């Protein structure tokens, strides 16, 4: 079985896949507005510290466990637990992770479907298909259901092709395109009237807000979701990293890419919002805060693009291409979690697993689409606010308390022989044992 497992063929491939998982809707609709509303550069600074002090150690726990066990989350967590109870705990955590990530994908696919619809819309307008354009941009059950299916088919198609020919190949194409589009959009938007106000709102530091406990808590939640932690995604990607790779370094690069792209997204989103404001589009909600989340993406920004005239069509095309890419490189990493389990644990073929599990998740998505008002927020908050932090905590317990310390060191040493005397090994074990679990508990009880 070991020989049949996939593996990333290069460091670049892994970096694109893992940062593709990390960079998603969260980076674009969550981070920038959160930063702007909470102290600008002062928030960025706090976020950076939190991400490196708390989220990075948790990311490393997943990568190390995955690469060591060379297996899906359920098998891996059982393999590193010496005791019977530990193995049982591993089984439970692995399963809850698989279930959670499947539900995350079920709501993610809905929003990602909107991104595809809004990506096709500018093309429809270019050819003058106004009724198609209206269908694409009006919120309706039929449209939502249709694009959930399209998006899930894309995800299943990439995952069916495997680690190297699916995940790595597509992430290596899509992520550089994402970065390029982001750069071009930033440059363009910064030339428009109002943009500098947005940049100021984003970056001017206001230190009075940053020690607010609520803020620290939500920044940490954001960091965990953004790095795809707790649900076995990074564990399974870690299991495809070759043994000669230096794990602390590649993990660090993933964190830098994720945070870097979130910060850059802010240089696009905030200026764009203030340009919209200058064009008469409302950007604040009833509470006086900046509009964030889906409403920002499907109403504020499209209103801005519409107010730009002909160029607006191309700006919209580029922006929704960016969003679709960000979604797809995240969704494939989500589907890989249950698929890897089904392939390795039940010996079912990859293609069959991807199709069957993808279909099941699509059905859940469609149930949410049909009962949007009652289910959508519920699924989002159960998975991301309750399940994900608890799973993050469980991973810290595995890395800090359950798994044997010498084995961990041996695993890290495979790709960095001097690891024992390095900074990472001086700090990480302590963090994962004490600091991370306590911090997560605090966040959880908030
Ligand atoms: N990190 C992704 C984002 O920011 C979301 C995600 C969560 C991906 C969990 C995989 C697993 O949008």
Structural domain boundaries enclosing 364: 2-415
Task: Please count the CA atoms within 13 angstroms of the CA of 310 that sit on its side-chain side.
Answer: 1
Is residue 203 situated within a structural domain? yes
Is residue 19 situated within a structural domain? yes
Instruction: Tell me the pLDDT of the chain (446 aa) as tens digits.
Output: 444 689 999 999 999 999 999 999 989 988 998 898 888 988 898 899 989 988 999 999 999 999 999 999 999 999 999 999 999 999 999 999 999 999 999 999 999 999 999 999 999 999 999 999 999 999 999 999 999 999 999 999 999 999 999 999 999 999 999 999 999 999 999 999 999 999 999 999 988 887 788 788 778 888 989 999 999 999 999 999 999 999 999 999 999 999 999 999 999 999 999 999 999 999 999 988 899 888 899 999 999 999 999 999 999 999 999 999 999 999 999 999 999 999 999 999 999 999 999 999 999 999 999 999 999 999 999 999 889 989 999 999 999 999 999 999 999 999 999 999 999 999 999 999 999 999 999 878 87
Query: Domain holding 314: CATH number?
Result: 1.10.4160.10
**Ligand 1 cavity residues, CB under 6 Å:** 21-22, 24-27, 101, 104, 225-226, 228, 231, 233, 330, 333-334
Four-residue CA torsion sign, 258, 105, 396, 76: negative
| Residue with CA nearest ligand 1 atom 8 | 228
Burial class (CB in 10 A: 0-12, 13-18, 19+), 275: buried
Residue pair 235/336 in contact (Cβ under 8 Å)? The answer is no
Q: How far apart are the CA of 333 and the centre of ligand 1, in A?
A: 8
Ligand 1 probe mutation, 18, 24, 229, 322, most atoms within 8 A of CB: 24
CA distance 424 to 419: 7
Q: How far apart are the CA of 30 and the centre of ligand 1, in A?
A: 12
Ligand 1 probe mutation, 29, 99, 115, 228, most atoms within 8 A of CB: 228
| Residue with CA nearest ligand 1 atom 12 | 24
Is residue 443 situated within a structural domain? no
Is residue 171 situated within a structural domain? yes
Q: How far apart are the CA of 146 and the centre of ligand 1, in A?
A: 23
Is residue 420 situated within a structural domain? no
Is residue 320 situated within a structural domain? yes
Is residue 422 situated within a structural domain? no
Is residue 437 situated within a structural domain? no
Q: How far apart are the CA of 401 and the centre of ligand 1, in A?
A: 26
Integer CA distances (angstroms), 204 to 36, 121, 216, 220, 274, in order: 9, 35, 19, 21, 15
Number of compact structural domains in the chain: 1
CA distance 147 to 152: 8
Q: How far apart are the CA of 101 and the centre of ligand 1, in A?
A: 9
């Amino acid at each position: 079985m070991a020989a049949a497992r996939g593996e990333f063929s290069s460091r670049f491939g892994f970096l694109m896949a893992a940062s593709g998982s990390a960079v998603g809707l969260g980076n674009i609709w969550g981070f920038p507005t959160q930063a702007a509303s909470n102290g600008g550069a002062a928030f960025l600074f706090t976020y950076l510290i939190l991400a490196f002090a708390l989220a990075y150690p948790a990311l490393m726990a997943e990568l190390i466990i995955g690469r060591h066990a060379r297996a899906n989350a359920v098998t891996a967590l059982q393999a590193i637990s010496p005791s019977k109870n530990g193995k049982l705990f591993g089984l439970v955590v692995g399963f809850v992770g698989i279930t959670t990530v499947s539900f995350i994908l079920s709501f993610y696919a809905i929003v990602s479907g909107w991104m595809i619809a809004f990506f096709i819309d500018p093309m429809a307008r270019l050819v003058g298909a106004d009724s198609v354009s209206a269908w694409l941009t009006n919120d309706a059950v039929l449209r939502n259901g249709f694009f959930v299916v399209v998006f899930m088919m894309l995800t299943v198609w990439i995952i069916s092709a495997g680690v190297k020919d699916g995940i790595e190949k597509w992430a290596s194409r899509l992520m550089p395109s994402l970065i390029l589009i982001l750069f071009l959009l930033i440059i363009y938007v910064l030339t428009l009237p109002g943009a500098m106000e947005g940049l100021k709102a984003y970056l001017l530091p206001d230190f009075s807000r940053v020690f607010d406990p609520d803020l620290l808590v939500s920044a940490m939640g954001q960091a965990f979701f953004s790095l795809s932690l707790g649900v076995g995604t990074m564990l399974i990607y870690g299991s495809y990293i070759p043994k000669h790779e230096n794990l602390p370094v590649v993990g660090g690069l993933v964190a830098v890419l994720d945070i870097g792209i979130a910060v850059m997204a802010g240089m696009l989103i905030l200026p764009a919002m203030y340009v919209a404001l200058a064009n008469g589009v409302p950007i604040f909600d009833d509470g006086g805060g900046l509009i964030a989340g889906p409403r920002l993406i499907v109403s504020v920004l499209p209103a801005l693009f519409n107010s730009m005239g002909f160029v607006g069509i191309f700006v919209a095309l580029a922006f929704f291409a960016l969003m679709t890419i960000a979604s797809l490189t995240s969704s494939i990493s989500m589907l890989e979690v249950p698929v890897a389990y089904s392939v390795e644990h039940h010996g079912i073929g990859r293609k069959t697993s991807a199709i069957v599990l993808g279909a099941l998740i699509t059905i859940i998505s469609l149930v949410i689409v049909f009962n949007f008002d009652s289910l959508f927020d519920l699924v989002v908050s159960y998975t991301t606010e309750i399940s994900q932090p608890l799973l993050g905590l469980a991973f810290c317990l595995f890395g800090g308390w359950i798994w044997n310390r010498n084995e961990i060191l041996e695993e890290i040493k495979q790709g960095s022989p001097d690891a024992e005397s390095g900074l990472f090994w001086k700090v990480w074990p302590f963090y994962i044992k004490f600091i991370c679990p306590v911090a997560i508990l605090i966040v959880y009880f908030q």
